[in-house]
């Protein structure tokens, strides 16, 4: 794995720490250092290190005591190579009995240490590294950050998870709002119950109500059987309403009623059903502005906004980019069964220097594409699809404010299309319905909805 394989150096001698760091970094390994066992424990709480190289003679907690505690806590999940400037058979035997992988004397040839490291390296597959990463849920998400703003986000999440308060997650598209929603659910006492994500911008107003509340058989044309809605499915779990700013007002009214009464009513039924779910919502829109413009109900806004969590864009947390790169390379390397062992230096610089207007989602997609196209043990190549890709992405970002939303574009297309078809049929609805291959009632409903003359 080299660049994907992390090693923790624990030694109270700063010169030795720096020597090991330089030597092993040149070999392609990722290195962190600690001056004491206590400092090493703090690093181990934050990140996975399959291998530790530890000095034996250290003030405070000795290397042997440190070894014993690590093996008691992590067993085979971490290997330790013990090093010392004063070698003796007794300490070597004691260390090996406790569970040390190897023993190295500082005055010996460093190649001996490197050979031991390579042995450990071969033992640990990418799967074991991913599974051991305590900072992710089943290796799907990375729940740590070096950025102060994101650290505040995670602290709020930990506190919020203990309650059932509604949460509104805000931030640009692609920053990982659903990941934070998952983290809230996974950290709560509802974690063993369903997590139901629903994208409000994906469904039309009539369809989303059926998705949320369910319907009875025969409630409308096409309702050939009874359907349980997502709010009912999520009982005792968590509902994640993504892009809630796109929800139609009629649906907003019904959702508000559910949040206040904790009861739903399936479409086509007058029976009230008790529900108990935690609501987490997300949007990349300015809901305060939407409320002032009358596009979002103020009472619902206050109801879903008990706690607001703002996620910073990736360009504001550049210190996290390297960890995210390695995380996604590890993940896709394992999923695709690739043999990637390191990242080319120039490629890494491209990845670190790019601004990522699409945030974490864009970074993830770039890494996935590169892993798919990789043909060797070194991940390398341009991070862009073509030479013009970067400029295209940035130009698209600049134009985004002048472009219409998907919903408005769809509405404009339907108005233009239906008007043209009706005109070609001399406004005969029956003939127009046949051309459009939809029912006469659907055409009539669209005429009323768009106020077509």
Q: Distances from the Cα of 395 to the Cαs of 107, 154, 284, 352, 402, in angstroms? A: 58, 33, 20, 20, 12
User: Model confidence over 334-368: pLDDT tens digits?
Assistant: 888 888 888 888 899 999 999 999 999 999 999 99
Query: Residues 414-426: what's their mean pLDDT?
Result: 85
Query: Out of 80-89, 135-144, 172-181, which region has the weakest mean confidence (pLDDT)?
Result: 135-144
The mean predicted confidence, pLDDT, of the chain is 84
Query: Out of 170-179, 326-335, 391-400, which region has the weakest mean confidence (pLDDT)?
Result: 391-400
State the SS3 of the chain. Answer: CHHHCEEEEECCCHHHHHHHHHHHHHCCCEEEEECCHHHHHHHHHHCCCCEEEEECCCCCCCHHHHHHHHHHHHHHHCEEEEEECCCCHHHHHHHHHHCCCEEEECCCCHHHHHHHHHHHHHHCCHHHHHHHCCCCCCCCCCCCCCCHHHHHHHHHHHHHCCCCCCEEEECCCCCCHHHHHHHHHHCCCCCCCCEEEEECCCCCHHHHHHHHHEECCCCCCCCCCCEECHHHHCCCCEEEEECHHHCCHHHHHHHHHHHHHCEEECECCCCEEECCCEEEEEECCCHHHHHHCCCCCHHHHHHHCCEEEECCCHHHCHHHHHHHHHHHHHHHHHHHCCCCCEECHHHHHHHHHCCCCCHHHHHHHHHHHHHHHCCCCEECCCCCCCCCHHHHHHHHHHHCCCCCCHHHHHHHHHHHHHHHHHHHCCCCHHHHHHHHCCCHHHHHHHHHHCCCC
pLDDT of residue 12: 92
User: Model confidence over 117-158: pLDDT tens digits?
Assistant: 988 887 764 344 444 444 444 445 677 788 999 999 999 999
Q: What is the pTM of this model?
A: 0.59
User: Model confidence over 188-229: pLDDT tens digits?
Assistant: 999 889 999 999 887 776 678 888 888 888 777 767 788 888
pLDDT of residue 138: 43
User: Model confidence over 236-284: pLDDT tens digits?
Assistant: 999 999 999 999 888 999 999 999 999 999 888 888 999 999 999 999 9
């Amino acid at each position: 794995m080299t660049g994907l394989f992390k090693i923790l150096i624990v030694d109270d001698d700063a010169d030795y720490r720096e020597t090991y760091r330089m030597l092993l970094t040149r070999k392609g390994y990722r290195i962190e250092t600690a001056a004491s066992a206590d400092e090493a424990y703090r690093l181990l709480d934050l990140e996975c290190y399959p291998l530790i190289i530890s000095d034996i003679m250290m003030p405070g907690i000795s290397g042997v005591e440190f070894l014993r505690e690590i093996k008691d806590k992590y067993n085979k999940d971490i290997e330790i190579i013990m090093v010392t400037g004063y070698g003796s058979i007794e300490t070597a035997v004691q260390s090996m009995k406790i569970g040390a992988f190897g023993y190295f004397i500082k005055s010996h040839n460093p190649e001996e240490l490197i050979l031991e490291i390579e042995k450990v390296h071969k033992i640990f597959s990418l799967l074991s590294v991913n599974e051991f990463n305590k900072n992710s849920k089943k290796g799907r998400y990375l729940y740590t950050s070096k950025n102060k703003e994101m650290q505040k986000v995670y602290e709020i999440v930990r506190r919020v998870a203990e309650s059932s308060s509604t949460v509104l997650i805000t931030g640009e598209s692609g920053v990982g709002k659903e990941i934070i929603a998952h983290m809230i659910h996974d950290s709560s006492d509802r974690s063993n119950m369903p997590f139901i994500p629903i994208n409000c911008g994906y469904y039309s107003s009539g369809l989303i109500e059926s998705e949320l509340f369910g319907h009875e058989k025969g409630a409308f044309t096409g309702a050939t059987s009874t359907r349980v809605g997502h709010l009912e499915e999520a009982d005792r779990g968590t509902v994640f309403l993504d892009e809630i700013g796109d929800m139609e007002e009629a649906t907003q009214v019904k959702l508000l009623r559910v949040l206040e009464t904790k009861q739903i009513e399936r479409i086509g039924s007058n029976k009230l059903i008790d529900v108990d779910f935690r609501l987490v919502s997300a949007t990349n829109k300015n809901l305060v502005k939407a409320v002032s413009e009358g596009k979002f109900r103020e009472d619902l806004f206050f109801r879903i906004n008990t706690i607001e969590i703002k996620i910073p864009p990736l360009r504001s947390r550049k210190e996290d980019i390297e960890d995210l790169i390695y995380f996604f390379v590890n993940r896709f390397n394992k999923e695709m069964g690739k043999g990637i062992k390191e990242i080319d230096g120039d490629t890494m610089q491209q990845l670190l220097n790019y601004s990522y207007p699409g945030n974490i989602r864009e970074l993830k997609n770039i890494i996935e594409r590169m892993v798919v196209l990789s043909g060797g043990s070194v991940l390398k190549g341009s991070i862009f699809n073509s030479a013009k890709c970067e400029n295209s992405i940035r130009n698209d970002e600049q134009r985004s404010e002048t472009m219409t939303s998907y919903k408005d574009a769809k509405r404009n297309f339907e108005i233009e299309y239906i008007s043209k078809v009706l005109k070609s049929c001399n406004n005969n609805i029956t003939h127009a319905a046949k051309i459009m291959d939809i029912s006469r009632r659907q055409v009539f409903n669209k005429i009323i909805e768009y106020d077509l003359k």
